[in-house]
Amino acid sequence: MINYSSIMEETQAVVEKFEEQIELYMDNEPENECSAKYDKWSEGLEKLETMRDLFQHIVDECEYNLK
């Protein structure tokens, strides 16, 4: 059987790691070089969060249907 909670934990960990990497980069780069990259990375983070949320919805539906 698929362990949905484990998959969700791993998905959340990816989102958090991406956020950490953005923060580290922003702290160590000159401000003028950061804004364009930050905008692109923010879009990427938004997409990751959307995928996580969609996956959570699928997991919830699957768990509900298994009951």
Mean local confidence (pLDDT), 5-23: 84
Q: Which of 39, 4, 8 is nearest to 25 (CA)?
A: 39
pTM over 0.75: no
DSSP, collapsed to helix, strand or coil, labels residue 29 as: coil
Q: What confidence tier does 9 reach under pLDDT thresholds 50, 70, 90?
A: confident
Q: What share of the chain is helix, strand, coil (3-state, %, to 5)?
A: 90, 0, 10
20-64 per-position pLDDT tens digit: 888 887 777 766 666 777 778 888 888 888 888 888 888 888 877
Domain locations in the chain as residue ranges: 4-66
